[in-house]
Chains A and B, each alone.
Chain A
């Protein structure tokens, strides 16, 4: 048979394709629907949080920081509860990372504050002596791209039925909604409102001024995102 295949490139290629393709089918397809279901209490990102998530991705934070807590005592001691599949239901793309040059950030919102991030991102060594993380000073001046985050929210609402403006069950039995504005201007306004809340906890004069002037520096969006990681 193999000799015959070697003389018939078409059938050879079909054979190779079948042999390599079905492993993927068996691994990915059966569990697909179940793995897409959110856990109770998992909410989609707000406009500002998603904007911050884009800043996180833009700077490849995931190259050094994981967002995946494995079920070991050492990990749950260090980072909090181990990760559940449904907690990632609204993560497009996933940001588990593959290397922990820095610590895991899956639940960083539980134990780091706005103030801490503000100082740390500007000069990591001043907060954590011996850190090898670079400073991210440009995030304090670059303006965040709220529009693209809003476009993404509309897209995932329309294509993947992400429940914006709908009741989402919480762990205590109550319901909450994540508001998605009807218009771009509305989204910009609500992101700015959220940014003002974050900036209120920040000390930098330049950030305060920027937000007061209706601008959202990247760092503010990023901190909003990191505070949402719980």
Chain B
């Protein structure tokens, strides 16, 4: 009986794969609309002036960030967990009715939460805190979703046959714990309806923290939500999928150990760099800078570990678009984790803060690293989950190049825009007066905003190709046998 191979059950993984693709398209579509709105303000009323309240930039902006973070990325994290978890722990979801039920409730409650978020943000029901815009009823739903995921993680770990936890599992556990802590403390709020004895809107709440403290808690959250949403779980993915797809062993166990504990220790300290020259205490600001620089070590540790895993097998980058996605993701990870610390240096931050350079940084990280890695993971999972060959390799290659071009246009234009605006804000003429009025520093950005919108549109087109390829794989790909699924994913030309 022990010799019978395990039948992994991917029911929940499949559900989350679906939402990854759908919410990815929704989130990025909103992003592209926003980009065109900044280049051409007329786009704010693209559904007519009657609907302007729901289509203008300021209502859509939080919807974009939340849809890509809590929609696309989180779905990606969950779907890969429900795939990777079983395989590295050597236990099937089918072995536990309880965990299967928890997984399904996890998915459906998550979907309800997403729907509530979309509706509430469009209506302008928001706490204003970035990536924590949701009012208290949705916060409670999110906490429940998170607990269900925790039950699933630790439930599966409790049943495991493989006693040693693989590196990816460390990162999934850290994601779970990190986000739980950050989310809870940042969303401490008092519902005013109940506190005032039934006056006003029932969903409204007021933050437990005020002013500088609120800012400190928010950016402790905001920075580290990036850590535990955009870095840690994505590293979990690459540690599993790159070695699997390439058939290579992880280059160095010691390096992965150092990178993991280093990242855990250092990341949280670096949040102070979001608040340079603000009213938070002075000692915190240089500390934020220093820890941001130190953060390069564990970040590059993981990235280099992954790139060296490909040692001697670099021809795979040319032959497999899937490896291309992962290697480029890893490279963008290095790039983005170098750029961030540079921006965290106080003198650089003085120019960069509040400008589009920050937006550019976020997007080379999210589009180049996070989204590429999530899509690569889904491409690797698809043949194993659906028992079908990937529908089209050439489509994958096309997608790769379109999206790479999109990212490059995006971040280069935003660098120029950010530094241009930062320099113009501070420019003085020979008499010591400000050289430019604010509007001068806006109109000058028009060409860069246009280039960025084109870049974003290209990326979105790539998303549609991705969705199409996944759909065709699911429905029309050639059926494959288990023995074709050892390493490199089977794909039709």
Binding site for B on A (CB under 8 A): 2-3, 6-7, 9, 12-13, 16-17, 19-21, 23-24, 27-28, 31-32, 35-36, 57-64, 66, 68, 70-75, 77-78, 83-103, 125, 128-138, 145, 147-152, 154-156, 158-160, 184
Contacts and interface: CB of A to CB of B under 8 A. Distances in A.
Nearest to B178: A20
B354 A66 contact: yes
Interface stretch (B72-80, B162-170, B309-317, B363-371): B162-170
A20 B196 contact: no
Interface in B240-289: 257, 261, 264-265, 267-269, 271-272, 274, 277-281, 284
B213 A36 contact: yes
Q: Which of A64, A93, A159, A160 has the most CB of B within 10 A?
A: A93
8 contacts: A60-B59, A60-B126, A85-B212, A88-B210, A92-B209, A94-B218, A102-B442, A151-B196
Given A134-B41, A155-B206, A13 B173 contact: yes
A83 B177 CA distance: 35
B193 interface: yes
B213 A148 contact: no
Given A94-B215, A134-B41, A154-B195, A16 B177 contact: yes
Interface of B: 37-38, 41, 44-45, 49, 52-53, 56-59, 61-62, 124-130, 154, 157, 163-165, 170, 173-174, 177-178, 181, 185, 190, 192-193, 195-197, 199-201, 204, 206-207, 209-218, 220, 224, 257, 261, 264-265, 267-269, 271-272, 274, 277-281, 284, 350, 353-356, 358-359, 425-428, 433-434, 438-439, 442-443
Q: Which of A31, A74, A137 has the most CB of B within 10 A?
A: A74
Contacts of B49: 137
B380 to A, nearest CB: 24
A147 B177 contact: no
A42 B105 CA distance: 49
Contacts of B428: 73-74, 77
Nearest to B433: A77
Nearest to A150: B199
Contact residues of B: prevailing secondary structure: helix
B212 A35 contact: yes
B44 A99 contact: no
Contacts of A137: 49, 52
A31 B261 contact: no
Contact of B154 (A9, A103, A150): A9
Q: Which of B58, B129, B218, B274 has the most CB of A within 10 A?
A: B58
Nearest to B133: A60
B210 A92 contact: yes
B204 A74 contact: no
B213 to A, nearest CB: 5
Contact residues of A: prevailing secondary structure: helix
A46 to B, nearest CB: 16
Contacts of B157: 9
Contacts of A19: 261, 264-265
B58 A134 contact: yes
A195 B27 CA distance: 39
A39 to B, nearest CB: 10
A28 B213 contact: yes
A3 B256 CA distance: 13
A91 B195 contact: no
A79 B13 CA distance: 52
A62 B218 CA distance: 14
Nearest to B65: A63
A134 B58 CA distance: 9
B114 to A, nearest CB: 19
Contacts of A17: 177, 181
Nearest to B58: A60
A48 to B, nearest CB: 14
Contacts of B52: 134-135, 137-138
A86 B274 CA distance: 19
Contacts of A74: 425-428, 434
Contact of A88 (B274, B279, B353, B439): B279
A27 B211 contact: no
B442 to A, nearest CB: 6
B305 to A, nearest CB: 16
A7 B442 contact: no
Q: Which of B124, B211, B218 has the most CB of A within 10 A?
A: B211
Contacts of A98: 130, 274, 354, 358
Contacts of B213: 28, 32, 35-36
A83 B217 contact: no
A100 B355 CA distance: 6
A116 B435 CA distance: 24
A98 B44 CA distance: 21
Given A19-B265, A27-B272, A92-B209, A184 B53 contact: no
Nearest to A30: B281
A84 to B, nearest CB: 6
B210 A151 contact: no
